Amino acid sequence: MYAQMVKTSGDKVKTPDEMTAQERAFQARIDADIKIEPKDWMPESYRKTLIRQISQHAHSEIVGMLPEGNWITRAPTLKRKAILLAKVQDEGGHGLYLYCAAETLGISREEMTEALLSGKAKYSSIFNYPTLTWADIGAVGWLVDGAAIMNQVPLQRCSYGPYSRAMIRVCKEESFHQRQGFDIMMAMVKGSNEQKAMAQDALNRWWWPSLMMFGPPDDTSVHSAQSMQWKIKINTNDELRQKFVDQTIPQADYLGLSVPDPDLKWNEDHGHYDFGAIDWDEFFTVIKGHGPCNRERLRARNRAHEEGRWVRDATLAYAAKHADKAHSRSAAWIN
């Protein structure tokens, strides 16, 4: 039940000769940067790929509320508590826009929720790690939201209209999230030696999982080639990971912290940082459901779903009562 066990399968990208006339016309629209809207014709696998990616993205936002939600009652000041509360609510809002965007492709909210709760659907690997100290909340905002923005800014130009428009709004809020995380880290490094040590410890634990967020290396990423041809993805996993490293190392230097990578080195020839090998066994273990918190996360979502049942029932009963009233009013008017 707790494994994120959706089987991964990548189809070979079709050449123009292998496409039907309709598929060629569709690809031409994408190449001309014309957005695809819900009522437009689309290849079935374009629709399915979008449902997979957008619903996984939505689930990530919803499960992503848990590691930080865990610290709302323990935030060190009232101001930090209010900021964190607002941030966690934003993540819930992002999940809702994204579920709506996925619904335009013909999947229901119930189907997506069921896939998450049963452990069939994937959500980002990063949210299966624990937030052990307050410094982890800084590291999540700085690194996890930082990685999320790096991935989502290009998605504003994605070919599917509803997803691209959702990303524009989400990105505005994510930049605030990243800055609040960096602000927590700044406060920690300016504090006592113990606080600085907590910030370094949080960076040590979140660094590698943050790099894994971008997905497997390009040569093993099954979906990238087709998703890039369809502009569902604008950059490859490795391109975004490299941009993230290049952007984040100067920020770590500014904080006076160091990333836990002895192989990290500025490469003058390429104008990028070289970095050490990522433990992909760890990544695949986590996405198969065996990370440190997979069970806990799904238990929490299942419990929330059960405890929220009365709210859903009450909302439906209220809507039905009003539909009945409206029906009686229009029947009285006709008679």
Shortest Cβ 250–ligand FAQ spacing (Å)? 21
- The C-alpha atoms of residue 187 and residue 39 are separated, in whole angstroms, by 50
Shortest Cβ 318–ligand FAQ spacing (Å)? 31
**CB nearer ligand FAQ, residue 239 or residue 246:** 239
- The C-alpha atoms of residue 217 and residue 227 are separated, in whole angstroms, by 15
**CB nearer ligand FAQ, residue 222 or residue 319:** 222
Enumerate binding residues for ligand FAQ (CB under 6 A).
Answer: 6, 8, 52-53, 56-57, 60-61, 64, 91, 122, 124-125, 140, 144-145, 148, 151, 212-216, 221-224, 227, 233, 237, 287
Q: Write down the residue that tokens 């490094």 correspond to.
A: 189
Contacts of 61 (CB under 8 A, 6+ apart): 91, 92, 94, 95, 98
User: DSSP labels for 257-320?
Assistant: ---S-TT-EEETTTTEEE-----HHHHHHIIIIISTTHHHHHHHHHHHHHHTHHHHHHHHHHHH
Shortest Cβ 37–ligand FAQ spacing (Å)? 20
Give which of 291, 313, 310 is closest to 119, Cα–Cα: 291
**CB nearer ligand FAQ, residue 64 or residue 138:** 64
Q: Please give the residue whose beta carbon sits closest to ligand FAQ in the complex.
A: 64
**CB nearer ligand FAQ, residue 145 or residue 196:** 145
Shortest Cβ 322–ligand FAQ spacing (Å)? 35
- The C-alpha atoms of residue 120 and residue 168 are separated, in whole angstroms, by 29
Shortest Cβ 223–ligand FAQ spacing (Å)? 3
**CB nearer ligand FAQ, residue 8 or residue 330:** 8
Contacts of 194 (CB under 8 A, 6+ apart): none
